[in-house]
Structure 1
C-alpha cells in the first residue's frame, strides 16, 4: 500500500537518533532525542527502539524494562492492540485459577471485574506489586522491548495475533469511540487515511508486522518459551486452543475435567456473548485501564467485520502489504 509522503502532519518533526537512555539522562531529555510522529488522530508517538509509543506509556515502559523482577511461574500475555486481548485475558485467568474459582462460583472475579483489571497491562500500571500464582501480566510490547529479566527467566509468553483486516477495523472503531467522546464535534479521519498510516507502522506499539514476526520467530526457536496463537483459530476450535494453552502453562486439563465438560464451560463463560452482557463490562464509570471505560472493550468480536468498513480494494492492498512484510517467514495471516 502506498504511503503518503507529503503530508506535514505525517512527517518526522524531531529526529536526533534513537539512543537508549543513560542512567543520568532524564525522561524529558530522552523524549527530545527520539523521532516524533503526529498521528491522524492528533496523538504524538515517539519512536523508541524501533516502535511507536505515546509519552505516558513510554515512561512506564522504561521503568518496567529497568526494574521488573519476574518469577519463573509468571505468564505474559502479548497482543497488538485490538487483537483479542480481552478474550485472551479472560481465558487465561479462568484456566489458571479454575481450582480456586469454579465457573459456577457466584464470587468468580470475572463476574465483577473487567478482564483488564485482573490481568494488568504493564505499560499502564505498576506491575511490581501484582499478586496471585501464577502471576499474570499483559502487554502490547514487542519482544525486543521486554525486560532482559523476562527473556532470561523461565516465565512463559502467550502471543495472540489477528488478521490485520479485522485488527485495523476494530482499532478504527475503538479510536473513533474515544475521540467522539473527547470531542463530539471533531471530524474523525476516514478509514482510508487511517489505513495508510497503519501500513506505515505508525500506530500504538507499531509497526504491527514487526511485533508479529518477532514472536512468530521466537515461538519456532523456543516453543517452550512462546506459544503463538491466532484469533481465528480460537474462534474455530476454542476447546482445542484452551487445551493447548493449559498444556503450555503447565496446568493441563485432566481426563475427568474433559469428560465433565470443564473446558466447554470455560469457553462459554469467557465468550463474547457472556462477558459483554455482564454489568461490570457495560460500565462507563468503572475503569480497569486509565481513561478508558470498561464498556469500550466490547464491540462485536467477529471475524470478517472489515467488510462493513473498508472496501475490497483496500483490503486487498492491505493483504499484499502484509504478505510482503511476512515473506519468507512461513507465517500466513489469512
Structure 2
C-alpha cells in the first residue's frame, strides 16, 4: 500500500507506508544524485538520503531499536536549528542533575551533539542507546513516515523544529562548503546557484524539505499530545516561552518557583549562540571521532541571512514553490520584525529590490564520492546548526 508525496517542484512520487525490510540490499538500484558534495545520495520512499545512512544506520534502527514510552525524539530537516534545539531540550530535561549555572554543566564542556545523539547515525555505528537512563533524549533527521513504527506507536514524544526554506538553503550551502573543505572534497563548483536549483527540486540531503515539514506538521495537528511543532523564527523572537512550552510537552514543565528563580532565562542564556561560540571546546575543539572543528557547526543563528546570498528573483521563486506546496496551510517565515538581540530582522523576498551577492568560486571540478569519505562525513553532515 502506498500514499503520494510530492517533490519540491510538484512531481508526485510513491511513498510506501512501511519502509522496505531490506533497504540496504536495494540501495544500488535506487535513483542516484552526486551533485551535492561530499555525499552520494539515493532516493528512497520519495526522499534523498545519504547512501551510507541507507546502508547502515537506517536498517539498524528499523530492525533492532527498542523505544521507551518516556523517550523524547528531536527531529528537524538539516540546517533548521538542530543544535540549538538539542541544547535547550537537554538543559531543560536534565536541569535537576545539571543546574544551568553549574560550572561543570555538560554543555559547557561538550557539544550538544555529544549530549543528544543522532538515532540513525550513532546507533548504526555502534553507539549503545540501551545503556542510556530514562528519559532518553534522541535526535534524527528522518522523515515522519520513515520513523520506525516502534517509535510512532510506543507513545514517544516528538519535538519538531522547522525553518524558513530560504535560510535553510543558505545555511545548508555554506555548511556544505565548509565540511567539503574539511574532508578534502573540492566543492568550488558548488555555487549558491547550483545549490538553489537542487534544493528547489528537493535533491539535497533529506530533501524535499517541504514534504519533510508538512508531514510532521500534520501529525502535530492529529496528535498534539505526542508531536510538538516549533518554528525557528518564532523561537528566536521569544525563546523563554517556547522553552517553557517544550519542557511542559516533554513532561518536565517548570514550576512557579523555578520561574521566579530565573531558571528559564538561565537555560536560554546557557544555550545562546554567543555563549556556545565562546566556549573553549567550540573555539578550539574538534568533534569527537571526526577531527572536524566544532566551530564548523556554528554560524550566525539568525533569521533573514538569506538576503545576503540570494537574489530577489531566487527568493521569489522559492517563495512561490513554498506557497504552491503549502497552499496556505502553514506559514514558514514571519513577517518583517523589529530588530532585537533575539529577534533579528526577517525579510520577505518581495521587500528586497536589490541585494549584493557574496563572491562565489567559479572554478569547476567534480567532487569524488568515495564510500570511505562518506562514512567519515556522515556524522558531520547530520549535526545541523544554522
Q: TM-score, normalised by structure 1?
A: 0.89
Counterpart of 2:31 in structure 1 is 35
Q: Is the 8 A contact 2:286 2:292 kept in 1?
A: no
Q: Which moved more, 1:146-155 or 1:175-184?
A: 175-184
Quote how far apart the aligned CAs of 1:191 are. Answer: 0.6
**1:91 equivalenced with 2:88 (yes/no):** yes
- 1:56-88 per-residue CA deviation (whole Å, 9 max, x = no partner) reads 212211111121111111000000111000000
Aligned to 2:44: 48
Does the aligned pair in 2 maintain the 1:143–1:211 contact within 8 Å? yes
Q: Describe the superposition over 1:240-290 as per-residue Cα deviations: whole angstroms up to 9, x where unpaired.
A: 1011001101111111111111101111110000011111122453327x5
CA contact (8 A) 1:91 1:267 kept: yes
Residues 162 and 332, structure 2, Cα contact 8 Å, conserved in 1: no
Question: Which of 79, 84, 98 is residue 82 of structure 1 equivalent to?
Answer: 79
Change in Cα spacing, 1:285 to 1:268, as seen in structure 2 (3 Å) is: closer
Match in the other structure for 1:164:
165
Native 8 Å contact 1:75 1:156 kept in 2:
yes
Determine if contact 2:76/2:162 at 8 Å carries over to the other structure.
Answer: yes
In structure 2, list runs of 5 or more residues that go unmatched: 1-6, 10-14, 335-386
Q: Equivalents in 2 of 1:2, 1:112: separation in Å?
A: 39
When structure 1 is superposed on structure 2, of 57-66 and 186-195 the one drifting more is 186-195
Structure 1 stretch displaced more, 38-47 or 223-232: 38-47
Which residue number in structure 2 is paired with residue 198 of structure 1? 199
Which of 97, 110, 131 is the aligned partner of 1:100?
97
For residue 123 of structure 1, give the secondary structure of its aligned residue in structure 2. Answer: helix
Once residues 70 and 52 of structure 1 are traced to their aligned partners in structure 2, the CA distance between those partners, rounded to angstroms, is 25
SS at structure 1 position matched to 2:138: strand
Match of 2:174 in 1: 173
State the alpha-carbon separation in 1 of the partners of residues 187 and 302 from structure 2. 28
Aligned to 1:8: none
Q: Is the 8 A contact 1:2 1:196 kept in 2?
A: no
Asked if 1:218 corresponds to 2:219, the answer is yes
* Offset at residue 300 of structure 1 (A): 0.8
Provide the alpha-carbon RMSD of the alignment: 2.3
> Matched residues in 2 for 1:185 and 1:202: separation?
19
**Equivalent pair of 2:72/2:138 in contact (CA under 8 Å):** yes
TM-score under structure 2 length normalisation? 0.77
Does the 8 Å CA contact 1:86/1:115 hold for their aligned counterparts? yes
Residue number in structure 2 paired with 1:315: 315
Residue 304 of structure 2 is matched in structure 1 by: 304
Match of 2:109 in 1: 112
Distance 1:195 1:215 in 2: 24
Give, in whole Å, the separation in 1 of the partners of 2:237 and 2:141: 24
Aligned to 1:6: none
State the SS of the aligned residue for 1:124: helix
Aligned residues, how many? 317
Separation in structure 1 between the aligned mates of residue 283 and residue 185 of structure 2, nearest angstrom: 21
Q: Which is bigger in relative contact order (C-alpha 8 A, separation at least 6)?
A: 2
| SS across alignment from 2:122 | coil
2:69 to 65, 68, 72: 72
The Cα shift of 1:26 comes to 8.1
Would you say the 8 A contact 1:80–1:208 is kept in 2?
A: yes
